[in-house]
Chains A and B, each alone.
Chain A
Amino acid sequence: MARAKSNPADMTLGERWALRGPERQLLLWALVAIGLGYLMLLGALPKDNIAVHLPELAPFVLYMAAFATAHAVLSMAGFRGDMMLLPVTALLCGVGLMAQVRMGVLDGPSRSLLDLLMLPAGLLLLLGVTLAGMRGRYRLLAGGASRRRALWFWALASLGLLALLLVTGQRFRGAVYGFGFLTPTELLKLTVVIYLAVFIDASMKALGRWRRPLPPLRTLRPLLIVWVLLCGMLLLQRDLGMVLILNLVLLVMLGLGTRHVGWWLYGGTAAVAAGGLLLGVFSHGQRRIEAWLSPFQDPTGAGWQVLQGLSGMYSGGLWGEGFSEGRPRYTPIAESDFIYAVIAEELGFFGSALLLLLFLILIARLYTIAARARTPFGMLLATGIATVFATQTLLNVGGVTKAIPLTGLTLPFISHGGSSLLTAFVSLGLVLAVSDGEPPKARGQGQRAKAGNASAAAPRRRGNSGSGSRGKRAPVGLGEARGRGSASGRRG
Chain B
Amino acid sequence: MDLLNDLFRSAPWSALRTGLHIAFVVSILYLLKQMLQLRALAGMRHLAKPKPWLGPVVIVLGLAFAAILAYQASWQLGGTSRPRFIAFMQLHDRRQFNPAHWIHRGRILDHRGEVLAASREVGGNVRRIYPDGPVFAHAVGYAHPRYGTAGIERIANVQLNGGLPDSLGDWGELGRHLLTQDKRIRGQDLTLTLDADLQRLAVERLSAAGNGRGAVVMLRPADGALRVLASTPAFDPNRIDGSLFAGADPGTPLLNRATQGQYPPGSTFKVVMAAQAVEAGFSGLIDCPADGYTTSSRYRPIRDHEYYSAQRAGRSWRGHGRLDLATALAKSSNVFFAQLGVYYGHDALDASARRFLFNRDVTIADSLSGRLTMQTGRLPDIPERDRYGLAQASIGQGKVLTTPAHMALIMAAVGNGGVAMKPLLIAGDTPEPLGRMMSAATAARLVHMLRRVVTEGTGHGIDTPGIAIAGKTGTAENPFGDSHSWFIGLAPAHRPALAVAVLVEQGGYGSQTAAPIARDLFAAAAERGMLQ
Q: Which residues of A contact B (CB under 8 A)?
A: 4, 6, 22-23, 25-26, 29-30, 32-33, 36-37, 39-40, 42-46, 51-54, 80-84, 87-88, 91, 256, 259, 296, 299-300, 307-308, 310-319, 321-324, 327, 330, 344, 349-354, 356-357, 359-361, 363-364, 367-369, 371-374, 379, 390, 394, 397-398, 401-403, 435-438, 440, 453, 456-459, 477
CB of B381 within 8 Å of the partner chain: no
For B95, give its contact among A46, A312, A353 (CB under 8 Å).
Answer: A312
Shortest CB-to-CB span from A214 to chain B, Å, is 23
Beta-carbon contact of B46 and A402 below 8 Å = no
Beta-carbon contact of A458 and B62 below 8 Å = no
B residues 19-64 in Cβ contact with A at 8 Å: 20-21, 23-25, 27-32, 34-35, 38-39, 41-42, 44-51, 53-54, 57-58, 61-62, 64
Compute how far the CA of A330 lies from the CA of B68 in the bound complex, rounded to whole angstroms: 23
Beta-carbon contact of A80 and B44 below 8 Å = yes
- Chain A residue at smallest Cβ distance from B51: A371
Shortest CB-to-CB span from B157 to chain A, Å, is 14
Beta-carbon contact of B46 and A314 below 8 Å = no
Known: A26-B38, A296-B88, A314-B99. A390 touches B61 (CB 8 A): yes
Beta-carbon contact of A40 and B57 below 8 Å = no
Beta-carbon contact of A25 and B34 below 8 Å = yes
Beta-carbon contact of B95 and A327 below 8 Å = yes
Q: Which residue, A299, A315, A330, has most C-beta atoms of chain B within 10 A? A: A315
For A25, give its contact among B20, B38, B77, B97 (CB under 8 Å).
Answer: B38
Beta-carbon contact of B20 and A317 below 8 Å = no
Beta-carbon contact of A311 and B67 below 8 Å = no
CB of B5 within 8 Å of the partner chain: yes
SS class, residues of chain A in contact with chain B? helix
Beta-carbon contact of B92 and A318 below 8 Å = no
Compute how far the CA of A357 lies from the CA of B99 in the bound complex, rounded to whole angstroms: 27
Q: Which residues of A contact B368 (CB under 8 A)?
A: none
Compute how far the CA of A321 lies from the CA of B99 in the bound complex, rounded to whole angstroms: 12
Q: A80-B46, A371-B54 are in contact. List 11 more A-B contacts (CB 8 A).
A: A22-B42, A44-B17, A82-B42, A296-B88, A307-B92, A310-B85, A313-B76, A314-B75, A315-B99, A394-B68, A401-B68
CB of B367 within 8 Å of the partner chain: no
Q: Which residues of A contact B46 (CB under 8 A)?
A: 6, 80, 436-438, 440, 477
Known: A43-B17, A372-B47, A440-B46. A311 touches B34 (CB 8 A): no
Beta-carbon contact of B28 and A33 below 8 Å = yes
Compute how far the CA of A459 lies from the CA of B28 in the bound complex, rounded to whole angstroms: 36
Beta-carbon contact of B68 and A91 below 8 Å = no
Q: What are 11 A-B contacts defined by CB distance under 8 Å? A: A22-B38, A44-B17, A83-B42, A84-B35, A307-B85, A315-B99, A327-B95, A344-B72, A349-B77, A364-B58, A437-B46
- Chain B residue at smallest Cβ distance from A259: B53
Q: Which residues of A contact B76 (CB under 8 A)?
A: 310, 313-314, 316-318, 344, 349
Compute how far the CA of A4 lies from the CA of B42 in the bound complex, rounded to whole angstroms: 13
CB of B313 within 8 Å of the partner chain: no
What count of chain B residues pass the 8 Å CB interface test? Answer: 68
For A311, give its contact among B28, B61, B62, B93 (CB under 8 Å).
Answer: B93
Beta-carbon contact of B79 and A314 below 8 Å = yes
- Chain B residue at smallest Cβ distance from A323: B21
Q: Which residues of A contact B92 (CB under 8 A)?
A: 299-300, 307, 311
Beta-carbon contact of A52 and B97 below 8 Å = no
Compute how far the CA of A324 lies from the CA of B42 in the bound complex, rounded to whole angstroms: 36
Compute how far the CA of A23 lies from the CA of B16 in the bound complex, rounded to whole angstroms: 30
For A23, give its contact among B1, B42, B62 (CB under 8 Å).
Answer: B42
For B28, give its contact among A307, A354, A394 (CB under 8 Å).
Answer: A354
Known: A83-B42, A351-B25. A315 touches B48 (CB 8 A): no
Q: Which residues of B contact A299 (CB under 8 A)?
A: 88, 92
- The 4 A-B pairs of least Cβ separation, nearest first, read A33-B27, A371-B54, A372-B47, A371-B50
Compute how far the CA of A84 lies from the CA of B36 in the bound complex, rounded to whole angstroms: 10
Beta-carbon contact of B72 and A352 below 8 Å = yes
Beta-carbon contact of A367 and B57 below 8 Å = yes
- Chain A residue at smallest Cβ distance from B49: A456
Q: Which residue, A88, A296, A318, A374, has most C-beta atoms of chain B within 10 A? A: A318
Q: Which residues of B contact A259 (CB under 8 A)?
A: 53
Q: Which residues of B contact A322 (CB under 8 A)?
A: 17-18, 21
Known: A36-B23, A40-B24. A360 touches B97 (CB 8 A): no
Compute how far the CA of A300 lies from the CA of B93 in the bound complex, rounded to whole angstroms: 11
CB of B243 within 8 Å of the partner chain: no
Known: A40-B20, A256-B57, A401-B71. A318 touches B179 (CB 8 A): yes
Compute how far the CA of A323 lies from the CA of B151 in the bound complex, rounded to whole angstroms: 42
CB of B280 within 8 Å of the partner chain: no
For A458, give its contact among B30, B38, B49, B50 (CB under 8 Å).
Answer: B49
Beta-carbon contact of A42 and B44 below 8 Å = no
Compute how far the CA of A371 lies from the CA of B53 in the bound complex, rounded to whole angstroms: 8
Known: A330-B94, A401-B75. A33 touches B47 (CB 8 A): no
Beta-carbon contact of A314 and B98 below 8 Å = yes
For B5, give its contact among A40, A52, A323, A401 (CB under 8 Å).
Answer: A52
Known: A29-B34, A344-B76, A440-B46. A45 touches B89 (CB 8 A): no
CB of B312 within 8 Å of the partner chain: no
Beta-carbon contact of A311 and B32 below 8 Å = no
CB of B11 within 8 Å of the partner chain: no
Beta-carbon contact of B71 and A403 below 8 Å = yes
Known: A344-B76, A371-B53, A403-B67. A315 touches B95 (CB 8 A): yes
Q: Which residue, B38, B48, B89, has most C-beta atoms of chain A within 10 A? A: B48
Beta-carbon contact of B32 and A84 below 8 Å = no
Q: Which residues of B contact A457 (CB under 8 A)?
A: 47-49
Shortest CB-to-CB span from A197 to chain B, Å, is 16
Shortest CB-to-CB span from A468 to chain B, Å, is 20
CB of B178 within 8 Å of the partner chain: yes
For A317, give its contact among B34, B39, B77 (CB under 8 Å).
Answer: B77
CB of B100 within 8 Å of the partner chain: yes
Known: A53-B1, A360-B62. A91 touches B28 (CB 8 A): yes
Beta-carbon contact of A403 and B73 below 8 Å = no
Q: Which residue, B32, B72, B97, B178, has most C-beta atoms of chain A within 10 A? A: B72
Beta-carbon contact of A349 and B31 below 8 Å = no
Compute how far the CA of A394 lies from the CA of B98 in the bound complex, rounded to whole angstroms: 27
Beta-carbon contact of A403 and B17 below 8 Å = no
CB of B385 within 8 Å of the partner chain: no
CB of B9 within 8 Å of the partner chain: yes
Q: Which residues of A contact B47 (CB under 8 A)?
A: 369, 372-374, 435, 437, 457
Known: A80-B44, A310-B75, A330-B93. A317 touches B99 (CB 8 A): yes
Compute how far the CA of A317 lies from the CA of B88 in the bound complex, rounded to whole angstroms: 17
